Chain A
Amino acid sequence: MNLLNTNLPRVIGEAFFALGSLLFAFAAGALILYAVRIDPAKAYSVFFSSSLASSAGIVAIFVAATPLIINGLGISIAFKAGIWNIGAEGQMLAGAVLAAVGGIYISLPFPLHVLLLMILGLIGGAAWAAIPAILKAFLGANEIVVTLMFNYIMILLTQYLLSGVLNSGGIAYAGQRTVPIQVTAQYPPLIPGTALHFGVLVAILLVPAVYFLMYRTVFGFRLRVVGSSEKTAKYAGIRIPVLIIMAMLLSGAFAGLAGMGEVSGVHYALLVGITSGLGYTAVLVAVLGRLHPVGVFLAAILFGCLIVGGQGMQNFANVPSSLVVFLQGLIVLIVLATEIIRVYGAKRIVASRGKVFIARA
């Protein structure tokens, strides 16, 4: 049903293209490092030894990539339906808040407690996406503006809760973080003794699940029609508002689950800045992954590498943190730019084919 299944040479060609753009990006980064008198060879060797070249590094990459995979998948569902949901940050936070509350105040035996937190995370994210969804579907409100505003509301609401009802006092950083969630609510480790938690497996399993949803179900099919052309969707008799709401709720639920994972698998508490912009980074992940589940997974892993390797450079090669962020930005920019060039090239071919339509008097 889709090109990735049927057109192997094209996929290989694109992989080479992506690899080439990455190499180019690292070369450009080397020039910058050289310019500020840091040995690029040393910086990059630390980058790789702290990320891809060690098992601890690989674990760290997967842990860092997990919220990006889940968020990126959710965003790709919305984007595929033509809804520009950039509210993952707020929806993620909503899921995290609800999960933290369930993890602190409710007592349940181990597997059930984690399951409850997952459900709370899904509900929290979906609920926070519901209002923009309804405004978009029935009033035509611009979802970009509304979801963006909802991010700010949720960030401030979380700070308010942390310094208010969720402030238990008497612990370090009171007002900045909650007390730890109960042990029964924590994601269990996948490999004991490592940071690899159950949430990583959840993220990986969601990749084929989303593929199935988008390319093997009637719902996914209709979603793609709406996203390609609302006019055609109307012509085909698809009930557009219902689909818009469903796609938004699903997208929000994914973000909420990602937020819950940060609470339950990484920090074991809710804290200020727990999402740390991951909801926005995930928009890039989704776009870079061309809104395809496999692409989103690969893009999230790339970002995981950049995050982990960047930290390594900062800690062991004395590269200032601002320069690390700069390098990460540069790499993303170049990869995106080459992607745009590639897509634009394809569009031009289409345009020359399309002349027959345009030219009718």
Chain B
Amino acid sequence: MLGISKQFGQVLANDCVNLEIERGTIHGLLGENGAGKTTLASILAGLISPDAGTIEINGKDVVLSSPSDAIKNGIGMVHQHFMLVETMSVVQNIALGLKREKWPLLDLSKLSSEIKAFGERIGLPVNPRERVSSLSVGLKQRAEILNALFRGAEILILDEPTAVLTSIEVEHLFSALRLLRAQKKSIVLISHKMSEILAITDEVTVLRRGKTVGSKITKETSGTELTEMMIGGGSLIEGSRTTIPSSKGLIEVDHLHVKDDRGVLKIVDLSFHIGGGEILGIAGVDGNGQRELADCLAGLRKAASGTIKLENLDITNRDASAMHRKGISYIPDDRLEAVVRDMTIAENFIIKDVGRAPYSDGRLLRPGSINRHAGEVVQEYSISALHTRLPAWTLSGGNIQRLLVARELRMHPKFLIACQPTRGLDLSATRFVHQNLRNLADSGSSLLLISSDLDELMELCDRIIVILSGRKTGEYSRREFSLREIGLKMTGAESLLA
């Protein structure tokens, strides 16, 4: 792949990216969230068309304008979220869209025995008659891989294949991948986990903010070097902030444990405090408990144990509206969770405060003050809306985020939890969010900033805590900030060096 570019809205997801994969190798594609890995892979799999650039297979130019084009050219992709029909058997799933001699009639028993034999031959045995819903996650993935190979894939793309697997399943997957490599298949492995990349790949290409940073032979590189490539070295810290020491908005979290919906412990024994006017950053790879921590602090998820105090008052496990009344604001990472697309912009501004003056008397709305308020906020936060009485879905992504930030900041919270507040935003919207977060801190509030963008954290935060698998693995004050250090702690690459 040469000079691949792809733009979504104002975001350049891939900027002149180059990727070269040799036959019979496992090629790692490494990068932070939002670095453009999935976009690049989707282009290769024919799911989206690039704006510019060329793709060559065996020295021949190809145009991949649909997934079936990609399959014809021997490219198969296994997605992060499986694309199998749960209620059907493995063989039925593979039969979907497969044109065979008897088409349009199905010959499932013949196909089934072929799949069984094929699976055993390449070292991926699966019972084709099994219903997908009764398979374990690892076997589902195996069925997906088998499906791609059965359709004649020579190049197999795996998008974060280990994210959903247990460690034993990861072992099985890796041994299967090694077998495939021995059969001269090429594999593209997308990951942001350093240990996996080092363990299984032959060569690795690092992406950062949509650009190729470089390619390395895995044996000749190290976790440290790759981490530096991934997060970018030597960016300067500028505009340092002065913290206002005060007890206002003081947040104390003590030995907090939080479980996810399945009862798995996601935050383990986490303690920290944030003073008034301070911005504390949480650095970590996505899915290491950030979401659970934020939900717990916002009253959306119960703590399994531990305490949360705001201004010396115990507020552990209060519900969301109580937290809000105490002066806690929350910008969740999924902005569509916090904004109702079908309701108007004006209504979205008051979604939490509708029961209070001046927007209502507790029972009846006051449309006059609701609309006046909306007009003011739209002005003040320069949200480009045609009209505040249009549904929120008429806004662009950046403006929906502005709406959300405006709503959460305008009530001058004592404590703000901001999760990935600039993910997917263009430069001006990002600046807007950063400026507002700084202003809030300068007015004496405490902020918790959760982000997978290290540059953002280092620019804004007074202190940074690194979490890995829900545990604190490091804490740095502003003077000690180092991309390299924090990056290593985030990916856990540090332990691999020893």
Contact = CB atoms under 8 A, between A and B. Distances in A.
Interface of A: 1-3, 5-6, 215-219, 221-222, 224-225, 228-229, 231-232, 234-239, 350, 353, 355-357, 359-361
14 contacts: A1-B365, A217-B363, A219-B363, A235-B320, A235-B337, A237-B299, A238-B321, A355-B8, A357-B336, A359-B8, A359-B39, A359-B48, A361-B37, A361-B39
B397 interface: yes
A248 to B, nearest CB: 20
A228 B342 contact: yes
Given A218-B360, A221-B354, A355-B9, A237 B324 contact: yes
Interface string B299-323: 1100000000000000000011111
B36 A225 contact: no
A236 B424 contact: no
Interface in B309-367: 319-324, 330, 332, 336-344, 346-347, 351-352, 354-355, 360, 362-365, 367
A236 to B, nearest CB: 5
Contacts of A355: 8-9
Given A228-B342, A232-B339, A217 B364 contact: yes
Nearest to A226: B340
A6 B338 CA distance: 25
A221 B337 CA distance: 17
A218 B8 contact: no
A234 B343 contact: no
B8 A356 contact: yes
B389 interface: yes
A237 B319 contact: yes
Contacts of B355: 218
Nearest to B361: A218
B354 A218 contact: yes
A218 B365 contact: yes
Contacts of B324: 237
B389 A6 contact: yes
Nearest to A232: B340
Contact of B33 (A217, A357, A361): A361
A235 B365 contact: no
Contacts of A356: 8-11, 396-397, 424
Contact of A232 (B8, B319, B330, B338): B338
Given A1-B365, A355-B8, A360-B424, A237 B341 contact: no
B74 interface: no
A232 B347 CA distance: 13
Given A229-B337, A360-B34, A236 B365 contact: no
Given A6-B387, A228-B343, A357 B424 contact: yes
Nearest to B10: A356
Contacts of A222: 354
B423 interface: yes
B337 A232 contact: yes
B396 A360 contact: no
B78 interface: no
B35 interface: yes
A353 B393 contact: yes
